[in-house]
């Protein structure tokens, strides 16, 4: 495997498990030093130890805690070149019975923290003058919607919009920002309600005939984080096995 992230320093939110963990593993394999920011203390520590990363506990809903933890992580890494905003939640709730608490919780985790992390990390990148890469986890739902996903889909559409503004405002500093829009990836997210029928149905929507695995997303994240992605910015890239093509 190429070591195309050699010498790069990366921060991955929600890196304790799932897609985030796979991105951390891939970045480390590609030569990066990686800091995980996650709420899950024991899974985060276990992942960090297993893959050779650092763990920092933070609840991204808490902006002050997130800023302080990012300062510590950037200090430990000796700088930062890559930010992956991956922490997120998916809850199901039909529009007509959705509570405002459910709506607010989704936005408080999926969207608002991206402003905080982007501010902190981009300031450090600009000060260092070496450019940088920001990768935001959106979703196919941000483009296509999804039943019971009014809050989730809206938050992910907002992630795509925020990513575009980030690309526009930070491009002059050599910082790229892109969103990844995974389709249906087999992780803990959605696992509690997943059935064999769901897997068969969703697999049939992909021309490749299968659901995604975290490594499918991690490979594209590594590409965007590397110099191979230098001329891509403001994009919302589908990683859906062709489930959607726009
Ligand atoms: N799994 C999918 O099918 C799918 C599809 C499209 C997009 N995504 C997106 O990919 C990202 C990762 O999802 P996943 O499938 O790996 O889910 P996951 O539930 O396995 O992992 C999410 C991670 O985010 C962390 N996290 C959640 N809330 C947090 C908080 N308040 N503070 C800090 N960390 C927090 C969790 O602890 C966990 O480690 C999410 O943004 C998700 O919306 C997933």
**Dist. CA 52–CA 21, nearest whole Å:** 11
Which tens digit of pLDDT belongs to each residue from 216-238?
A: 999 999 999 999 999 999 999 99
Per-residue pLDDT band at 215 (split at 50, 70, 90): very high
Which tens digit of pLDDT belongs to each residue from 177-195?
A: 999 999 999 999 989 989 9
Locate the ligand 1 atom nearest the alpha carbon of residue 43 and give its number: 39
Instruction: Name the β-bridge partners of 137.
Output: 180
Helix (H) or strand (E) holding 83: strand 82-85
Per-residue pLDDT band at 109 (split at 50, 70, 90): very high
Averaged pLDDT for residues 120-149: 98
Instruction: Locate 38 and state its tokens.
Output: 């996650």
173 Cα to the center of ligand 1, angstroms = 29
Q: Which amino acid residue places its CA nearest to atom 1 of ligand 1? A: 185
Helix (H, G, I), strand (E, B) or coil at 190: coil
Q: Is 128 in the pocket of ligand 1 (CB under 6 A)?
A: no
CB atoms within 10 A of CB 245: 7
Per-residue pLDDT band at 143 (split at 50, 70, 90): very high
Per-residue pLDDT band at 2 (split at 50, 70, 90): low
Note the pLDDT of residue 92.
96
Q: What percent of the chain has pLDDT over 70?
A: 99
93 has pLDDT over 60:
yes
The answer to whether the beta carbons of residues 224 and 176 sit under 8 Å apart is yes
Per-residue pLDDT band at 62 (split at 50, 70, 90): very high
Note the pLDDT of residue 181.
98
171 Cα to the center of ligand 1, angstroms = 27
Q: Which amino acid residue places its CA nearest to atom 20 of ligand 1? A: 18
203 has pLDDT over 70:
yes
The answer to whether the beta carbons of residues 80 and 121 sit under 8 Å apart is yes
**Dist. CA 13–CA 16, nearest whole Å:** 8
User: Which residue's entry shows tokens 């991956």?
Assistant: 86
Averaged pLDDT for residues 183-208: 95
**Dist. CA 28–CA 150, nearest whole Å:** 35
Q: In 180-209, which positions are buried (b, 16+ CB within 10 angstroms) versus exposed (e)? A: bbbbbbbbebeeeeeeeeeeeebeebbeee
Note the pLDDT of residue 206.
98
Q: Which amino acid residue places its CA nearest to atom 9 of ligand 1? A: 137
1 has pLDDT over 70:
no
**Dist. CA 231–CA 228, nearest whole Å:** 8
Note the pLDDT of residue 88.
98
């Amino acid at each position: 495997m190429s070591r195309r992230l050699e010498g790069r320093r990366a921060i991955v939110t929600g890196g304790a498990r799932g897609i985030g963990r796979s991105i951390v593993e891939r970045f480390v394999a590609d030569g990066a030093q990686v800091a995980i920011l996650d709420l899950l203390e024991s899974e985060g520590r276990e992942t960090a130890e297993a893959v050779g990363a650092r763990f920092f506990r933070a609840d991204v809903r808490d902006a002050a805690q997130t800023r302080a933890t990012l300062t510590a992580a950037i200090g430990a890494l000796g700088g930062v070149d890559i930010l992956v905003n991956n922490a997120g939640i998916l809850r199901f709730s039909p529009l007509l019975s959705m509570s405002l608490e459910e709506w607010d919780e989704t936005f408080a985790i999926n969207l608002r923290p991206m402003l905080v992390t982007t501010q902190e990390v981009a300031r450090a990148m600009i000060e260092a003058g070496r450019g940088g890469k920001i990768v935001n986890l959106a979703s196919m739902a941000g483009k296509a919607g999804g039943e019971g996903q009014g809050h989730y889909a809206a938050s992910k559409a907002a992630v795509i919009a925020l990513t575009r503004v980030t690309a526009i405002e930070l491009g002059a500093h050599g910082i790229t920002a892109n969103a990844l829009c995974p389709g249906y990836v087999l992780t803990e997210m959605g696992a509690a309600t997943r059935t064999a029928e769901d897997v068969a149905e969703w697999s049939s929507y992909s021309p490749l005939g299968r659901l995604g695995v975290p490594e499918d997303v991690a490979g594209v994240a590594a590409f965007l984080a590397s110099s191979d992605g230098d001329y891509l910015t403001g994009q919302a890239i589908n990683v859906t096995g062709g489930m959607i093509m726009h």
